[in-house]
Chain A
Amino acid sequence: MVTGLGLSGMPQHRPSPRFEPDVVIVGSGAAGGMAAYALTRAGIKTLVLEAGRDYDPVSESAMLKWNHEAPLRAIPTPDKSFGYYDATVGGGWEVPGEPYTSAPGTTFRWWRSRMLGGRTNHWGRHVPRFGPYDFKGKSRDGLGADWPITYEDIAPYYDRTEKLIGVSGANSGLENHPDSSPGVLQPPSKPRVPELMIQAAAAGLGIPCVPSRYAILTQPIDDAHAPRQACFYATPCGRGCSIGAAFQTTTSLLPMAMGTGKLRIVTNAMVSRVLTDARGRAKGVEYFDRTNGSTHFVAARVVVLAASACESAKILFNSHTAQSPQGLANSSGQIGRSLMDSTGTDITGHIPALEGRPRYNEDGKDNAHLYIPFWLYKEQAAGRLDFPRAYHYEIGGRFEMPGARFGLAGAEDGYGLSLKEDARRYYGAQVSFSVRGEMVPNADSYCELDPDTKDKYGLPVLRFHWKWSDHETRQIAHGVKTAKEIIARMGGRVLTPEMPPEQAIQAGGEIIHEVGTTRMGMSATDSVTDGFGRTWDIDNLVIADGGVFPSNAHKNPTLTIMALSWRSMDHLTMRMRKGDI
């Protein structure tokens, strides 16, 4: 069955006898999209298999729609977990027919989509760089695992990735928050009033508050196959961006790769297994056509897994053979282990000084134009903090488009004209602080195949185990306490109920920064891949997604996933050219 791809009207091709790919990539999101871009640029015939349906943000995204035009004022429901207009297709916290389980007494939540471009169609687009410390955490504090690469190894790929995807923001010059090279970043956007107030209050407490970096264009990017416009400063990015200003692979990397003539994409192709030949090398993948359940095989010289950390781990588990009963490429036993998410909690406050302030259009970019990066490295090194690793705040507060959650910060009382006056007074007078912190991997947080539950294809599903340690709860306690101090400095009232950090910390997986399940390392005994995502056991099997992260800096992972994917594909290209594969 041939379906339309929807990308600038380009035709979609099923693999035909005339198209024999050199490389098959599983997944079309951040990792798979970048892998396809890098490989096709190098002239390598590439096939992308995407489990979800074809998706075209140009024709499908609900830009500029009002909340009152959607059912229930667009509020999240079990059918659309991030609200009616969120771009996510076919999933969210639950994908019908494709369950996952959590071990008794533990909770892990796994966000998935089933669409071309994957989760890049709705992500937050906040793209801080990892810094030098973030690759060598174990050397610094003895916890977790170091990366086999350094910041210097990846820095050129950060520059190239930022330039390619388009990142607006500014260099901060702060410790372990690396600057981009000159000419890489597009200009940041002017901050809004609540952000400036937070900046002033934070400054009064010695805390920096600096321009955020977003994969959102403030200047257009010309390209023959994927021209993208600058942001027009309206509509939440999570709806998908029909003008290409908010980065997603469906308006950038995939059409650019398609433009080389070297790419084919098959959608609704749910990969179940990597198959190996008699010598134990990868020979291709098997997939189910989600539209009719039929099984297909695609042969390739190289298999690249870019299905997301947990999905790629699941594929490797389910690819077990007589020689590898614990899963393919799993001689280290590390597949599924070291599962990490970011820590998270939200603190909100009402600020009387912001009541009744003059109105203006505060839409801007989707998120705050400023954020608070971690600022306590020196105190931490001096042993003055009771937690390891760092966190940052993503801040909020503005005249938001009213929807189902419109309210008066808990001050609703009475009825009549006074209620209307209160609504006018309270609108735009709340601020929020979202803590995003680094978790240290632990032995109690991992995924494995569930011995009982199977999905609609008859394949075993993932079972998650999860536990936060004192490292994370102490970090959250610090983040909550400090946010309250900033709110107090603004003369505000904290709205978030008082609760212990064990309760305040969000469930594992909820920040949707899950990584680590196929980690890279220095040795085949304690890691799944080398520093280029090549599995130690099978040298024509490469992992390009966040599964390879040995640690998960507090900085949102997608930029690093893309930079690493590009670096790994350059290495793969070199090996293919030399005839090593």
Chain B
Amino acid sequence: MTEISRRVTLAWIAAVSTGGFAAGSSKAAESGSPASWSNAALPPVTGPGYGHDPDLKAAAVPWPLTLNPHQRAILRLAADLMLPADARSPSGGTLPLDAFLDEWISAPYPLQQQDRALIMPGLAWLDAETGRRSGQDFVSASDAQRRAVFDAIAFRDRIAPGYEQAAQFFARLRALMLAGYYSLPQGMADIGYLGNKPLADDYPGPTPEAMAHLNASLIKLGLKPFNPG
């Protein structure tokens, strides 16, 4: 990242963060109007793409990353809430989802730049909204305070008026985190992806358990089951 773009970015972050955390009473905050969404123009990403003929066996990300440590910390905490640990897989915040998001929104391609225009103000909004409610930014707030903000924007049928844009940000963040998480080895193990293994013999097809499940489904649908052999 060049010094100029770093300066521009820092100035932008300062601009969208103002007025956020000097929140008054937290009681009023719960019911008050949501933090405002910044429409400040984003500094453009100018890094290089990987070109039309990259080395496919030595993949590398040529563009500089653009998120600061605080933004990465927000993403790790958000990933912990989004995809918490359970018996089958670790929490999102312990996997490099923050790095994936940084790589994504820093990429010099149209789709990623469109996402950048949503994710960057979205991260600032999380700070502002948490601050409005609790007087602390998203990272410093308690788990319960962060959840309260998520609850306002995460459920499609329960988006409170004024939270529409933040909900749109959340939906996109969730989509990117799902893709980022389940394409990592821990996510693939959780979801049960068993391929990408060269087989020495013919493709064996479905297991007996998979065929039994299929046939039970077909019978329920009034369709003809297959010979399980």
Contacts and interface: CB of A to CB of B under 8 A. Distances in A.
Contact of B174 (A92, A354, A359, A415): A415
B134 to A, nearest CB: 19
A511 interface: no
The B interface, classified by DSSP as helix, strand, loop or mixed, is: loop
Contact of B190 (A61, A78, A420): A420
B197 A361 contact: yes
Given A73-B179, A78-B109, A403-B179, A196 B54 contact: no
A137 B185 CA distance: 52
A239 to B, nearest CB: 8
Interface in A172-194: 187, 189-193
A95 B203 CA distance: 38
Given A234-B198, A353-B217, A420-B190, A201 B56 contact: no
Given A72-B112, A489-B223, A423 B178 contact: yes
B202 A189 contact: yes
A361 B51 CA distance: 33
A204 interface: yes
Contacts of A423: 178, 182, 190-191
Interface in B195-218: 195-200, 202-207, 209-211, 213-214, 217-218
A193 B183 contact: no
Given A72-B103, A79-B52, A424 B203 contact: no
Nearest to A53: B53
Interface string B148-180: 001000111000000000000001001100111
Contacts of A364: 203, 205
A84 interface: yes
B185 to A, nearest CB: 8
**Size class of the contact patch on chain A:** 35 or more
Contacts of A353: 217, 220-221
Contact of A412 (B51, B86, B171): B171
A412 B193 contact: no
A363 B224 contact: no
Contacts of B150: 415
A399 B192 contact: yes
Contact of A402 (B193, B218, B220): B193
Interface in A344-394: 353-354, 357-365
A218 B223 contact: no
Contact of B223 (A89, A204, A407): A204
Given A65-B56, A190-B205, A79 B103 contact: no
A196 B225 CA distance: 9
Given A357-B213, A420-B86, A491-B221, A218 B52 contact: no
B95 to A, nearest CB: 10
B125 interface: no
Contacts of A413: 154-156
B184 interface: yes
Interface in A385-435: 399-408, 412-417, 419-420, 423-424, 427
Interface string A60-84: 1110111111111101011110001
A405 B84 contact: no
A37 interface: no
Interface in B66-111: 81-84, 86, 88-89, 100, 103-104, 107, 109-111
Contacts of B82: 415-416, 419
A60 B218 CA distance: 44
A35 to B, nearest CB: 26
Contacts of B185: 66, 68
A28 interface: no
Nearest to B208: A358
Contacts of A70: 59
A91 interface: yes
B61 interface: yes
B52 A96 contact: yes
A233 B174 CA distance: 32
Contacts of B171: 412
Contacts of B199: 232-234, 361
Contact of A399 (B100, B104, B193): B193
B10 interface: no
A70 B209 CA distance: 34
Contacts of B180: 73
Contacts of A408: 178
Contacts of B50: 71, 77, 79-80, 84
B122 interface: no
A358 B213 contact: yes
A61 B55 CA distance: 9
Given A73-B180, A407-B178, A416-B82, A66 B196 contact: yes
B187 A402 contact: yes
Contact of B107 (A72, A91, A191): A72
B154 A357 contact: no
A71 B83 CA distance: 22
A239 B59 CA distance: 14
With most chain B CB atoms within 10 A of its CB, the pick from A67, A71, A413 is A71
A404 B183 contact: yes
Contact of A232 (B110, B182, B200, B207): B200
With most chain B CB atoms within 10 A of its CB, the pick from A62, A365, A420 is A420
Contacts of A412: 171, 174-175, 178
A516 B125 CA distance: 55
B46 to A, nearest CB: 15
Contacts of B52: 79-80, 89-92, 95-96
A23 interface: no
A469 B211 CA distance: 44
A200 interface: yes
Contacts of B192: 359, 399, 424, 427
Given A189-B205, A193-B213, A405-B179, 6 more contacts: A70-B59, A196-B226, A200-B225, A353-B220, A413-B154, A491-B221
18 contacts: A62-B56, A66-B185, A72-B104, A73-B180, A80-B52, A84-B59, A85-B56, A193-B213, A231-B203, A353-B220, A399-B193, A399-B195, A406-B179, A415-B154, A415-B174, A416-B83, A420-B86, A424-B190
The 7 closest A-B pairs by CB, nearest first: A190-B205, A363-B195, A359-B192, A232-B198, A62-B56, A353-B217, A358-B209
